[in-house]
Amino acid sequence: MKLSPADNARILKIGPDFPSGVFQKAVDILNSGGVVAFPTESFYGLAVNIMDPAAIQRLFAVKGRSPDQPILLLLASLSDLEHYAAQVPPSARPLIRRFWPGGLTLIFNATREVSPLLTAGTGKIGLRLSSHPLATGLAQAFGKPITGTSANLSGMPALSSAQAVLDSLGNQVDLVLDGGQTMGGLGSTILDMTVDPPRILREGLITGREIEDAIF
């Protein structure tokens, strides 16, 4: 499909050797309540300002997602963890050492800094440190975690290219950071650390066996 001038304006192609200032446009959009799509290890995700309730509500509207479903966060760095996880159990430490950055989302009890809109009122928040340089680079440039929900309509397949995001979501997304085709396949594994023993809610990039080997 041929891109329109408006579509071209919403795509920012980024190569592997990107300069540090490449994210400024995306940061400006996030600060103004906008929505930015970006690549992760498996699929494209959607970022909004986690401190802006209107932006979070817009994110639900863009995806057609029910507000009773929580939204995971991608950390800017490991040091962010203590600001958003109220308790980090000892069993989480070997998992973090082995699988972060990477495809493991850990669910913790959330701190007061986390909006109830993100936890769907559960008091729990999923956190991950991505291994994709654009995902983590965007969070670092923004100076705090970003939302990491998949860039697709709720209930539809996740998307692995910038063009697919535009085809699906159109002008509902203000900017797409085009890092090329992602590998697709499985999303992150989601592991609930608020129960003992930890419970896998979704098996993805990290297998249950790998998790057992890391903990025990």
CB 109 within 8 A of CB 123: yes
Q: How confident is the model at residue 2 (pLDDT cuts 50, 70, 90)?
A: very low
Q: Domain holding 134: CATH number?
A: 3.90.870.10
Cα separation, 111 vs 130, in Å, equals 21
| Strands (E) located in the chain | 11-13, 36-39, 44-47, 73-74, 104-109, 124-128, 146-147, 149-150, 175-178, 189-192, 199-202
pLDDT of residue 216: 77
Whether residue 7 is predicted with pLDDT greater than 80 in this model: the reply is: no
Among residues of the chain, what percentage have pLDDT more than 70?
A: 96
pLDDT average, residue stretch 166-176: 96
CB 55 within 8 A of CB 73: no
Q: Structural domain of residue 52, as residue ranges? A: 5-215
CB 96 within 8 A of CB 152: no
Cα separation, 76 vs 78, in Å, equals 7
- Structural domain total, the chain: 1
Peptide bond into 101 cis (omega under 30): yes
Cα separation, 216 vs 210, in Å, equals 10
Q: Which phi-psi region, left, alpha or beta, contains residue 87 (left: φ > 0; alpha: ψ -120 to 50)?
A: beta
* Per-residue model confidence as pLDDT tens digits over 10-51: 899 998 888 878 999 999 999 999 999 999 999 999 999 999
CB 80 within 8 A of CB 73: no
